Structure 1
Amino acid sequence: MTLLSSERSAARLPDSKPPTADGGVYGWQVPPIHTAPPAISSAGQEAIDLAARAGLRLDPWQQHILRVGMGEKPDGSWASFEVAVNVPRQNGKGGVIEARELWGLFIGGEELILHSAHEFKTAKNAFKRIERLIRQTPDLHKRVKTYRQTVGEEGIELHTGQLLRFIARSKGSGRGFTGHCNVMDEDMILGDTEMDALLPTMAAVQDPQIWYLGSAGIGAPSVQLGRLRRRALAAIETGEPDPSLAYMEWSADVHLDECPADCTAHDDPDSDAAVLKSNPGVGYRLTLEKVARERATLSTAGYARERLGVGEYPSDTADTWQVIAEEAWRALAVGDVQAVAGARQAGPVALSIDMTPERSHAAISAAFPYLGGVHVTVVDHRPGTGWIVERAKELHGKYGPRCWVIDPASPAASLIPELEDKETGLGVQVVKPKAREMAAACGQFYDAVTTQSLTHFDDAPLASALAGAQKRALGDAWAWARRIPSVDISPLVAGTLAKWGLGAEVEEPPGDILSNVW
């Protein structure tokens, strides 16, 4: 996960509970992932003050969201057309929504504020909360013409015509309305059909704004949130703010499979520091003791998602082939199998194994010299893992590879002891690249494509992996990102390591290399 922009929190919190002036323990009040376009003023303080008049006292982090999200350009228009808030459950994002909607009704003069949620009951509950705030504030209540209670028509209308409507999202909901402000609650369940229905309603509005609020992505349903997050991370990576998006995310950057035992670059998911970094409501409506009970009860993946904000975000079809262009990859395909086989007979071969984090699929890939460069191919790719060792033994006896390569920090590392065992496996030492060598392998693979010194058979598993592949930071370099929903990159990782294995320092195996082609 890429961290921060210009408003990065000053430092990582230690694992111990940090004391504060009043002796309490509080979560980060500024998000670890934060980007926004420049603004010279903000209407956020007006929203904060109005919420306080209604009895809604906002936490510092909630106030921060409003000040950033309601930032203004020199002409008074919104600096951010879109504002996205990604924070784990039960921290208090509802208070931010209510403050923004109160401002739009009673100060901003927004003619229509459209509040949508993925389920009717969620929208209904939001209506009830803001209705209570208004009714208990006499100078606001007297400005209300009617509280619409009819099912499906819930809303609050002022005597001056402003209207706040609450709807459940669907393919057709929102059509026919012209929203000055759209509030998309529970945005981790928000796809193209809902956006197609709601967003065009704002086209005819001068200076509209859309707010997305929710928790960590849950895979396929999080289409729009995934897009917003990618835009934000791209802005942070380049140092150039997205011209229309303010994005604020509280989440932990937990250890990767490749992390050494003493890694300090990522967060320990079992630590209080990770909780404080991802939960700004700690100290206000959450406690570390309550979170500890969650940690003991939830699954590892469930706890990471629901409490630490570690989400799964689907790739957009428009965002495929992000690392290597499809045209560049397809141009390197060769179809003359016999010519490749003939070239392989004269040179060494390296084989590599990789598998998905869920252990649902695995791949064996090979690399060998060809036409002054390297040819990479997928030897086998199947569901499950039970087939790998026997297939590796078969290939080892058939081709006498110079080495086998497995990333020791990957799920496939569990196979290494059996493969190295003389009785059950190959009886040879598996080459285990270190983290810096993983980064070097990825860089070498990329460079070989760009310099056209790599060829392939246009294997479908390898092409599919590259189509959805993304980078992840690894020190000052990068490696292939394993944790991508619905993308199996095991053929790509195995091919990358096989190519690297051709140059790794190993003891050459005895005997002739056979000329078979798989």
Structure 2
Amino acid sequence: MSAAVHLIPRIDSDRVGAQRPRIERFPPSQTTAGQDFTDLIALTGEKPDDSQQYVLDRAVAERPDGKLSAFEVALIETRQSGKNWILEARMLGGVFLLGERQIIYSAQRFSTVKKAHRSLVNKIRRTPAFFKKVYGYQGQKPADDIKGIKSNGAELSIEFQNGIRIDFFVRSGDNVRGFTGDLIILDEAYDLESEEIAAMMPAMAARTVEGSPQIWYTSSSARAKSDVLRSLRERGKKPWDGTDARLCYLEWSTDEDINSDREDPEVDMDALIEAVYEANPGAGSRISVEYILETEWRAMDHHEFRCERLGIPIPLGSDDFISSTSWTRCRDNELIAAIEEFGGVEQNLRDVRITYDVSPDRSRASIGLSGVRADGRVYAEVIDSGEGVDWVPRGVADIWHARSQLPVLVQMGSAAEDLIPELRRLGVPVREVVLREYAAGCGRMFDAIKDGILAHSEQEQLDSAIRAARPSYKGDTRFIWKRAHALADITPLVTITLAANPALKALSREKNTPDDADERQTTRGGRLVARRPRAQRITTSR
């Protein structure tokens, strides 16, 4: 079914999004340090929006004894809403106003953690009053190295002369359990698991006897598996009755009954515009409403748009096809640290395969690599990804000559097939992959991610492709990858699927599984059921 045509009414160019959350709950208080925090970060030359000041005023409100009123702060905001500024103000205020000794910022993705660390470091370096307080300062210029700022892959931190530290961590189930400090920020909280919070909470609660610790949960709206966020939301929606008295919950969203289905010709565009303004405090200032409606709404998956732009939780059972939790567990944190510190990539691989893929409209392409590690896991990496296709043949040839002697794998019937003659002219052998084999590879990739057989080093373009991938079924159980929406780029996922397939197929053969059974995905109750292969030594052939 083709999308309905909707005419977008004229947008008021002077209007901005709602500066107050639709759902809020916060403890009673006597005073607030919010303005002090704002005055402090104003030294960097930045001033808050009204919504940002509102959040700070309530998050760092104080009781008569001087302690913070809120023990837990949940901030649920859509993208481009200014959340990062709020977190930076909170961390700087913790250092210079509250004297918090240990501050931890964590997120699910390494790229998010790195970006948060870099942004705060830049603010500190360009503000003399802050930079002079960093450990090791002896008159250095802002761009000079300084002992108190660690920016390598193994450690991201900022230490001050008084011993206060801000540590930045990529979050995993194991390290969350050990988080303790005066301020814990759990960014990208949509991926938190209740067991992680249950393990961390007792140690944090114990600090309330003498200190005034705080836990922040910051995120876009809940996804299908966001148990922690859903629980926080239910608590935040309850009428104030004196119980749960130390939760500050602030959510920008719109009514879940809003009809935002672009396929429905009866969509009320005026009502949708009102919903966008209500759910996005940055609308009209950080992001234009025209862009939201003309680009995001027309292109994004229905549930994704409601979650990311309207603040409406994704219904249970409607989440990404590939589990974000499973994908995160395939991440190799040691390799990420090595890449960040030394600029290297995984070198100790055997049976290395090179592949590439081109989007149907030839607007984007990616080159991928896969090989078998010494521990038996199959490693996958996107070597390059960019616009257009002219660069692809030479890029593939250079990588193939450097990394592999096995033929480059190319999916037949795709836009990638058109580049085969140029590859062969450059001396690169090519093996054509038919649809049936590619579909079997998609099933194996799904299984490998679910079972932790695959290893990756976290790449933003690959993470985006994982979130945007959906199954296009070719029969009852066999599927290939398709895009969740027109703006999505899944070429990175297609490349690693093709590249990893021979090794994953060899792994299934070591289990003595017949080929015809191996190429079939089983179902149970209408849902895809992944096989559970063992991680063993893998051998592949040309």
TM-score by length of 2: 0.50
Is 1:233 the counterpart of 2:237 in the alignment? yes
Contact kept? 2:100, 2:182, Cα under 8 Å: yes
Find the aligned partners of 1:256 and 1:96 in 2 and give their Cα distance. 29
Q: 1:109 aligns with which of 99, 109, 131?
A: 99
Shift of 1:91: 1.5
The Cα shift of 1:189 comes to: 1.0
- The 1:275/1:148 distance shift into structure 2, 3 A limit, reads same
Task: Tell me how far apart the structure 1 counterparts of residues 95 and 106 of structure 2 sit (CA, whole Å).
Answer: 16
SS for the counterpart of 2:41 is: helix
> Aligned partners of 2:300, 2:122: CA distance in 1, in Å?
34
The correspondence for 1:214, drawn from 209, 219, 222, is 219
Q: What is the deviation of 1:82?
A: 0.5
With over 3 angstroms needed to count, the CA separation of the structure-2 counterparts of 1:297 and 1:191, relative to structure 1, is same
Question: How do 1:56-455 and structure 2 match up within 5 A?
Answer: 56-145=46-135, 146-176=148-178, 178-205=180-207, 206-220=211-225, 222-235=226-239, 242-255=244-257, 271-292=272-293, 293-312=295-314
Amino acid across the alignment from 2:37: A
Q: Distance in 2 between matches of 1:16 and 1:269?
A: 7
Structure 1 residues 158 and 313 mapped into 2: Cα distance closer, same or farther (>3 Å)? farther
Secondary structure at 1:129's aligned position in 2?
helix
Amino acid corresponding to residue 208 of structure 1 in structure 2: P
Q: Report the CA distance between 1:58 and its aligned residue.
A: 1.4
Q: Offset at 1:37?
A: 1.1
Partner amino acid for 1:278? A
Please state if 1:27 is matched with 2:27.
no
Q: Structure 1 counterpart of 2:70, which letter?
A: S
The correspondence for 1:54, drawn from 39, 44, 49, is 44
C-alpha distance in 1 between matches for 2:10 and 2:274: 8
Q: 1:62 to 1:40 in 2, by over 3 A?
A: same
Q: Deviations for 1:448-480, whole angstroms, at most 9, x for unmatched residues?
A: xxxxxxxxxxxxxxxxxxxxxxxxxxxxxxxxx
Partner residue in 1 for 2:141: none
Compute the displacement of 1:224 (Å). Answer: 0.9
Question: Is the CA contact (8 Å cut-off) linking 1:268 and 1:274 kept in structure 2?
Answer: no
Specify whether residues 311 and 138 from structure 1 end up closer, same or farther in structure 2 by C-alpha distance, changes over 3 A only. same
The secondary structure found in structure 2 opposite 1:165 is strand
Q: Secondary structure at the match of 1:274?
A: helix
Asked if structure 1 preserves the Cα contact closer than 8 Å seen for 2:40 and 2:93, the reply is yes
Pairwise CA distance, 1:303: 1.4
> How does 1:473-512 map onto structure 2 within 5 Å?
none
- Structure 1 residues 298, 308: CA separation in 2 closer, same or farther (over 3 Å shift)? same
Any unmatched runs of 5+ in structure 1? 1-14, 258-265, 316-518
Distance in 2 separating the partners of 1:138 and 1:17: 45
> What are the ranges of 5 or more consecutive residues in structure 2 without an aligned counterpart?
1-7, 136-147, 260-266, 318-542
Distance 1:311 1:176 in 2: 29
Per-residue deviation, 1:92: 1.6
State the 1:66 CA deviation. Answer: 0.4
Q: What do residues 265-312 of structure 1 show as CA deviations (whole Å, max 9, x unaligned)?
A: x99796210000000001220111111121111122221111111113
DSSP 3-state at the match of 2:248: strand
TM-score using structure 1 length: 0.52
CA contact (8 A) 2:178 2:200 kept: no
Contact in 1 for aligned 2:104/2:183 (Cα 8 Å): yes
Distance (whole Å) between structure 2 residues aligned to residue 225 and residue 63 of structure 1: 23
Query: Is the Cα–Cα contact under 8 Å of residues 59 and 73 in structure 2 kept in the other structure?
Result: yes
Letter in 1 for 2:173: K
Quick one: distance in 2 between partners of 1:267 and 1:108? 48
Displacement of 1:203 in angstroms is 3.4
Q: Is the 8 Å Cα contact of residues 117 and 169 (structure 1) preserved in structure 2? A: yes
SS at match of 1:281: coil
- How far did 1:195 drift? 1.7
Asked whether the equivalents of residues 17 and 272 of structure 1 are also in contact (C-alpha less than 8 Å), the reply is no
Report the Cα distance in structure 2 between the residues aligned to 1:247 and 1:17, rounded to whole angstroms: 34
User: Aligned to 1:144, what secondary structure does the other structure show?
Assistant: coil
**Count of matched residue pairs:** 287
Asked whether the equivalents of residues 258 and 275 of structure 2 are also in contact (C-alpha less than 8 Å), the reply is no
Give the deviation of 1:16 after TM superposition.
8.0
**Structure-2 separation of matches of 1:313 and 1:88:** 17
- In 2, distance between residues paired with 1:209 and 1:91? 22
Cross-structure match for 2:328: none
- Pick closer, same or farther for the CA change 1:18–1:79 going to 2, 3 Å: farther
Distance 1:248 1:17, change over 3 A: farther
Q: Using the alignment, how far apart are the partners of 1:142 and 1:276 within structure 2?
A: 41
Q: Is the 8 A contact 2:258 2:272 kept in 1?
A: no
Tell me which amino acid in the other structure corresponds to 1:310: I
Aligned pair in 2 of structure 1 residues 187, 267: CA closer, same or farther (>3 Å)? Answer: farther
The higher radius of gyration belongs to: 1
Determine the C-alpha separation between the residues in 2 that align with 1:58 and 1:108: 20
RMSD over aligned CA atoms reads 2.5
